[in-house]
Amino acid sequence: MKLEDHLIDKYRFIIADRYNYTKLTEFKPLPEGITEQMVDDIREFFLESIYPEPARRHELDAAFAHLQSYIHQPAKVWGILGNLTAAIFKFGTMLPAALKTGIVSLEAFTAAKNFEHTMARAAKDAGFSVPLTDDQFIHCLSKLPRHQLDSFALDVGRLFRSMADTRLLSKTVEIMQDVIKKMESKTKLYTKDEIDGIKMGLNIMQKGLGLFSQYNDKTKDKMVEYIVEREKLFIDEIYFKHRED
């Protein structure tokens, strides 16, 4: 197995462990309102949508490259949706904010790629080989500048906050569905890979909508706060307990 793919697997294992309900409750009582089902759902969303297994990760890398192309080039979006006036008439004044949700999803997914190469170099410099132990993996994480992991945690928090805004997220999903429908009607203009890329991005948003739409606003806020707290605590543990002097 390639070193970088192994590092992805190791990080997935740590995520699964970080959101293991039994271990969490052994550490300290969960905040009021946070249930075992919520913890399980959060873990699955992380592992399926934010940090999937290597094979799926490579597919999503390509998919988000297509999504990034459309989101960061508004002219391409307008070319699919029609002119700006028509788009706002159909989707309302929430359209710009809805498109921003797509950007947040993209940034949270791609943020980890900014430090995977650094981790791989740290592993090679330390003489580690596949498979790494948990301590060796934490050593590699600790070699990252703190601001990189802090930035990733912020991106994750922003992603979950955007997903928790289910009214806006549902609008984003509606827009993306409309984009796909129009692309599929113009097969001579848009390739299958382009269409499939947008579909994969849409799938992540739909999973986020499914995760949060079952809860009220107060509960969604608690879930997001809990996720941010867990991510910050994990980073603190890396730098205060494992970083070498």
**Helices 84-91 and 74-81, packing angle to 10 deg:** 70
Q: Is residue 208 part of a domain?
A: yes
Q: State if pTM tops 0.85.
A: no
Q: Is residue 236 part of a domain?
A: yes
Confidence of residue 245 (pLDDT cuts 50, 70, 90): very low
Q: Is residue 60 part of a domain?
A: yes
Q: How far apart are CA 14 and CA 240, in angstroms?
A: 17
Of the spans 82-91, 108-117, 166-175, which averages the highest pLDDT? 166-175
Q: Is residue 26 part of a domain?
A: no
State the residue range of the domain holding 102.
Answer: 3-21+34-242
- The answer on pLDDT for 67 being more than 80 is no
Of the spans 48-57, 90-99, 123-132, 155-164, which averages the highest pLDDT? 123-132
- Cis peptide bond upstream of 29, omega within 30: no
What mean pLDDT value characterizes the chain? 83
Q: Is residue 174 part of a domain?
A: yes
Q: How far apart are CA 118 and CA 111, in angstroms?
A: 13
Q: Is residue 48 part of a domain?
A: yes
Weakest mean pLDDT among 114-118, 122-126, 135-139: 114-118
Q: Is residue 27 part of a domain?
A: no
Q: Is residue 79 part of a domain?
A: yes
- The answer on pLDDT for 156 being more than 70 is yes
Domains in the chain, number = 1
CB-CB neighbours of 153 under 10 Å: 19
